[in-house]
Amino acid sequence: MGGKVAIVADRIGWEERQLIRTAPDLGLHIDWVNDESLCLGHPDAPSITAYDTLLIRSRSYTRGGLLAAAAQASGIPTLNTTHAIQSCENKLVLRALLRTAGIPVPDFRLVVSRKDFEKALDELPLPVVLKPVFGGMGKRVTLLRTRDTAHSVYDYVEDLGHAFEQACLVEPYLGGSSVRCLVVGEELVAAARFESGGTDWRNNAALGNRNEAVALDHEVRDIVGRVVDLLGAGIYGVDLFETPDGHLVNEVNHAPGFRAVASATGADIPAAIGRHVREILG
């Protein structure tokens, strides 16, 4: 039996094109549906009733979780679930969930005011990283090496940011590399290490920095497995920091880019996602 799937996103990128291309081989039909034109809320949700499931890949920091909640209220299942998406969209909520579950995360401080920021600088050794609670793709993540610069940077957060943009995390700088683990369903299908290059200190995969495949050792599999147990089966990019004391979960992306991981590892990630969708539809 065929399945009709909507990729809900504001644009079609490399990943979405690969998913659409792979779909017919797996008995699926995938359309792109612009996430700016759904107008959800009606019980029958006329813009999505033709689909068996929605694959939420919105780039918006908050749009994905809202759309998933409205779609599920209309009886249309989503990947990922509303719980998973809304947990991943908010870095503070995610860190709190992970820490409560005993999953290792970096030390951090929540900053919602100048007083918070000053206390965070007192408690955490420089250099530190300032990052927005709502955000992705490495944007507005700032490395602060000196206290003078830190206060100047925070002026911009305080004066120019909207209310939700002023909520930030401050955490120790843990080096210029991280490991992106690509999960489909409950399976860790591939992992690659990303390292900062050139003049940009950030190692975010979206910035196109150096990458290489890494072995999926027991510790990595255990941590990623515990993250999936917490959030539920789905499609995730689990980002880990490597430290002398082991791996720490930095972030979990609910709509991960996977072009760089696929390139580094040779893993057929679109096919893995298609098979997972096929299993869900039955």
pLDDT value of residue 163:
72
CATH number for the domain harbouring residue 222: 3.30.470.20
Residue 87: CB atoms within 10 A of its CB come to 22
| Domain region containing 248 | 175-281
Strand partners, 191: 181
Task: Specify the pLDDT at position 207.
Answer: 57
- The answer to whether residue 99 is domain-embedded is no
Q: What is the rounded CA–CA span in Å between residue 25 and residue 22?
A: 6
User: What pLDDT is attached to residue 167?
Assistant: 93
Q: What confidence score (pLDDT) does residue 200 get?
A: 72
What pLDDT is recorded for position 140?
84
Q: What is the pTM of this model?
A: 0.94
Are 155 and 203 part of one and the same domain? no
Q: Answer yes or no: do 179 and 275 share one domain.
A: yes
Q: pLDDT at position 160, please?
A: 79
**Looking at the structure, do residues 185 and 240 belong to the same domain, yes or no?**
yes
In this prediction, the residues of the chain whose per-residue pLDDT falls under 70 are: 1-2, 161, 197-199, 201-209
Examine the domain organization and report whether 62 and 114 are in the same domain: no
pLDDT at position 14 is 97
Given this model, what pLDDT does residue 204 score?
A: 60
Pull the structure tokens for residue 236.
């995730």
| Number of independent structural domains in the chain | 3
Question: Which pLDDT belongs to residue 225?
Answer: 98
* Spatial distance between the Cα atoms of 203 and 251, rounded to a whole number of angstroms: 13
